[in-house]
Amino acid sequence: MNIEKKQFGMLSTGEDVDLYILDNDSMVVGITNYGASITSILLPSDKNYYDDVVLGFSTLAGYTGKHPYFGAAIGRYGNRIAKGKFSLDGTDYQLALNDGANHLHGGLKGFDKVVWEAESFVDRDGLNVELYYSSPDGDEGYPGSLDVTIVYTLTENNELKITYVAESDAATPVNLTNHSYFNLRGEGNGDILGHEAVFHADRYLPVSSSLIPTGVLAPVAGTPFDFGTRKPIGRDIAAVPGGYDHCYVATGSTGALIPVAEVYEPGTGRSLKMSTDLPGFQFYTGNFLDNVEGKRGSVYGKHAGFCLETQLFPDSPNQSAFPSSILKPEETWEHITVYSFGF
């Protein structure tokens, strides 16, 4: 069990960016304080080497350029807010429109594009990297100053635990998540359509043509969205216009940590199980990946990775029937997601 810290690069401002390598003697995880991003998850192969099972870049330059949020911490608000607008306590707010007519993943400069304060430590839970960022009042149009702490913990049981804590001095929407793209065959080793998934979710959120929820919580049974029993991700994807990019409603969600999704890769025998105390998770199949140059000369095309982003429901500030995403000054936004790897 070991944590190594090294320089990942330097920004044009002269600010140093660090990379933390967490090694539990079975698997290795890379975390950078630029965007509080997961840069690598190395799982052992039967060929006596490691495969990296998340998409991303080998250098800082890739993360500072335009990319589809590889491994990044997302905030203040993960997913979409319709037309970038919401009303709160009698005041109307307009956020940046960075996804067509909508606001996506925190705006033009979300939490994925800033340098976080970071420190590492070892405790009885495992190997930890704690990252902190203070988002000022008015940041990307959001009200209130928001203090955010994210702790990544690699346990001896091959779990990567993400703990989110946020507090604000004014009411504001908050929906923090992580945007890692997984390919259990190894990044750059083809698409994920043959991965087999099962979701503990009996409903999902249908969306409009601009991917905003309609407000309906629709049953998955008998539809292409049904992963109640394990099936290949690609089996029904042709029946989903554009591919999967939908929020699933976790069955039995009560605010306690529960298992919500499992993915198995039959060629390698690797598996990923996800648990969370949040009510939903976005399942995204890399529909918009378009020959992105990644690690080791890899080129990521459509469906090169899948995302499982635990979260509150998209567009919650505008949909009163959804669980509230408004954090008030007297409250703490605290949630946990655990990715457990089998190999």
Give the pLDDT score at 46: 82
- Per domain, the residue ranges of the chain are 2-342
Q: pLDDT at residue 47 above 80?
A: no
Helices (H), the chain: 60-64
pLDDT on residue 283: 98
To the nearest whole number, what is the mean pLDDT of the chain?
97
Tell me: the pLDDT tens digits for 156-174? 999 999 999 999 999 999 9
Q: How far apart are CA 324 and CA 88, in angstroms?
A: 12
Closest CA to 336 of 201, 182, 195, 155: 155
252's tokens: 């039995």
Instruction: Name the active-site residue from 67, 179, 200, 246.
Output: 179
pLDDT at 48: 77
Please say if the pLDDT value at position 62 is more than 80.
yes
pLDDT at 248: 98
Q: What does the block give as tokens for 138?
A: 């008015």
Name the catalytic one among 103, 195, 309, 335: 309
Q: Can 179 be counted among the known catalytic residues?
A: yes
Percent of the chain with pLDDT over 90: 98
Q: Which residues, 6+ apart, have CB-to-CB distance to 53 below 8 Å?
A: 41, 42, 43, 182, 183, 184, 185, 186, 187, 270, 341
According to DSSP, residue 258 is labeled E
Residue-wise pLDDT for 308-340, tens only, equals: 999 999 999 999 999 999 999 999 999 999 999
As a whole number of angstroms, the distance between CA 245 and CA 255 comes to: 24
Sign of CA dihedral 188, 193, 199, 202: positive
Query: Above 80 in pLDDT, residue 255?
Result: yes
pLDDT of residue 63: 97
Q: Are 176 and 164 in contact (CB under 8 A)?
A: yes
Answer yes or no: 246 catalytic: no
CATH class, 2-342 region: mainly beta
Q: Is residue 245 scored above 90 in pLDDT?
A: yes
